[in-house]
Structure 1
């Protein structure tokens, strides 16, 4: 399989309390005092204390067309991705020319050439580096990215693979959208990025061992999470059905995956759960029969930076490593489809 040599979470420079963000965005979303009061209550109940944004908060009053906001995404995402990858490579003792494979994931902007391509000359990656940009995985992209880079390294055990995730959720802001989904999304999602360096087994380097991975696609759930893409850009699709999907599928799914390795839920020493929001984390805990304290890192990340979509679970992983956690760990996330990804880890 492979080993995780370094995880580098990064955030934009602009940081605001949840109350500051709500005060700025509420007038842009609704002019009706009653609906703004609902939005404010929902933001306050999000479990989030602070979030980071790609732009200064006052700039969101002036956001223009989809093309203009997407151009901002390309510029800001490339800068964040460069910071993340330079940091991760330095922490792993590697240089850009050492990288053989790059997977890039995002669901909050589009670019061709993709952001990973824009980094090749900028970072000094080799001209023959293999790249795989991905769009559409959403919140599951961080976990899925780890699994796919691991898949690559299983076939190339002497090589170095990198996962890059950048999500600038603030740039998808929809003005005058008074739907409950938009009320929730504007109070939940933050901006951030992460880079993960993985090395193949033949390199003999230390790190967190990726033991196994599992992918799941749940039928009849395509309308639960996602985007509607229109003239104004990305319009959020987010329903209460997320918790129902978790309750219905996760207990058997996790039991089967762990059972393949002679384990049960009680054998998992470290949980790295995607901090999708309070209801999502509570559904994970309820369905798995796990105490809230076991997901402390995910709750803390939600409070500190919000839901960073595909980058979120990678920020939780970085915090988990920094805490000194050890033993068997299960990392997982949920995204559009609805789909789920599970990564079984052995933390040294």
Structure 2
């Protein structure tokens, strides 16, 4: 038998709906959306979110979906997600120099909308993927879904020696909740942070790009209620405990050290960090626990500022920013967090 090919991220493609400034969103909609005592708290949270601008397929400045039933939101999801996903995958394939009909596995991650036939089938059709292209849909894993998605794609590439494509597409703007008595601090935080995006990655057996060495995870099920995403009659409702950073502080260093040790790598040898910006406190905790240099999370903070928290695509947006730097990192650790409470990590090495 020949040597097993290392799965390599050979192309990335991003797609964003129109942007709005955070201050504009506050003045034009959310200052009136939050009433009574929560308004002052909300204004502080919006101002300190680390977000300067966000993207949305349904901007509240133009269209208030907060009273829409879930069925209407799901119909809109299909309308908006298809062109956004198509743009991201087409750009990733072009970046990798790969024809759509050579894709062996197409993985789609999304927790903000559901339909059957889904994005995996409709996009495979629209992009001209082969009839024997295998598909996998990953739903309701939330902000960390890109990493198990990469893991599934890389396993396929290793086992079959064929290319795979991962698409993460999230339309969080469809889930603006009705204002009123249930508008607690957790809802304010989610409405201040979340944004829409689609990002695709192409993985191939060998060649130049970022080799995916391993995907690892740890889940603290004792804190399962700290982060939730519930389907309600008026869209999906986020639950986001203020204790999440504390849980991450317990687990993140051990997860990263164990991953690096298995590959004979030291923390100091990692020159690129793609850390999911669940919010400023999340980044501060990771920076402190890993003893990162002052500029270690610059790409993560810049992505939060320019795009907000886009759920599963966000960590791929950060990876795209890192690889496009004047001096791209040689070794990258990706970290993302979500319901469970789950932490995921991946180790990448750059190949010329």
Is TM (by shorter chain) over 0.5? yes
Which residue does 2:3 correspond to in 1? none
Trace 1:43-54 onto structure 2 (pairs within 5 A). Answer: 43-54=46-57
SS state at 2:277 partner: coil
Give the alignment partner of residue 332 of structure 1, picking from 332, 335, 339: 335
TM-score normalized by structure 2? 0.94
Structure 2 residue corresponding to 1:109, chosen from 94, 99, 113: 113
- For residues 228-280 of structure 1, the C-alpha deviation after alignment (integer angstroms, 9 at most, x for no partner) is 22211211110112101111111122111111112221121111111211011
Question: 1:28–1:182: structure 2 CA closer, same or farther, 3 Å change rule?
Answer: farther
Give the aligned partner of residue 39 of structure 1: 42
In the aligned structure 1, how far is the partner of 2:88 from the partner of 2:33?
A: 32
Q: Would the aligned equivalents of 1:28 and 1:61 in 2 still touch at CA under 8 Å?
A: no
Q: What corresponds to 1:97 in structure 2?
A: 101
Corresponding pairs, count: 342
* 1:239 maps to which of 238, 241, 244: 241
Name the counterpart of 1:200: 205
Most deviating of 308-317 and 51-60: 51-60
Helix, strand or coil for the counterpart of 1:58? coil
1:15 maps to which residue? 19
Task: Please list every run of at least 4 consecutive aligned residues from structure 1 whose deviation after the TM superposition is greater than 4 angstroms.
Answer: none
After TM superposition, list the pairs within 5 Å mapping 1:181-260 onto structure 2: 181-201=186-206, 205-260=207-262
179, 183, 191: which one pairs with 1:178? Answer: 183
**Which of residues 62, 68, 75 in structure 2 aligns to 1:71?**
75
Aligned to 1:303: 305
CA distance in 2 between counterparts of 1:28 and 1:69 reads 22
Q: How far is 1:341 from its partner?
A: 1.6
The separation in 1 between residues aligned to 2:33 and 2:240, in whole angstroms, is 17
Query: Quick one: which of 289, 293, 297 aligns to 1:287?
Result: 289
Q: Paired residue for 2:279?
A: 277
CA change 1:60–1:223 in 2 (3 A) is farther
Decide whether the 8 Å contact of 1:29 with 1:174 is kept in 2: no
Once the two structures are TM-superposed, the CA of residue 320 in structure 1 deviates from its matched residue by 0.5
Kept in 2, the 8 Å contact 1:51–1:190? The answer is yes
| Contact 2:20–2:55, Cα closer than 8 Å, also in 1 | yes
1:27 deviates by: 5.3
Deviations 1:290-316 (A, max 9, x none): 133111100000001101100000000
Do 2:276 and 2:337's aligned partners in 1 also have CA atoms closer than 8 Å?
yes
For structure 2, the residue ranges without an aligned partner over 5 or more in a row are 1-5
Give the root-mean-square deviation of aligned CA atoms: 1.4
CA distance in 2, matches of 1:219, 1:336: 9
Give the helix-richer structure, 1 or 2: 1
Q: Distance in 1 between matches of 2:33 and 2:187?
A: 9
Q: Using the alignment, how far apart are the partners of 1:153 and 1:221 within structure 2?
A: 34
- Give SS of 1:3's match: strand
Determine the structure 2 residue equivalent to 1:126. 130
My pick for the range that moved more, 20-29 or 65-74, is 20-29
Gaps of 5+ in 1: none
Match of 2:11 among 6, 16, 21: 6
Instruction: Quote the Cα distance in structure 2 between the aligned partners of 1:55 and 1:230.
Output: 19
Shift of 1:110: 1.2
Q: Following TM superposition, by how much is the alpha carbon of 1:145 offset from its aligned partner in structure 2, in angstroms?
A: 1.3
**The residue matched to 2:170 in structure 1 has which SS?**
strand
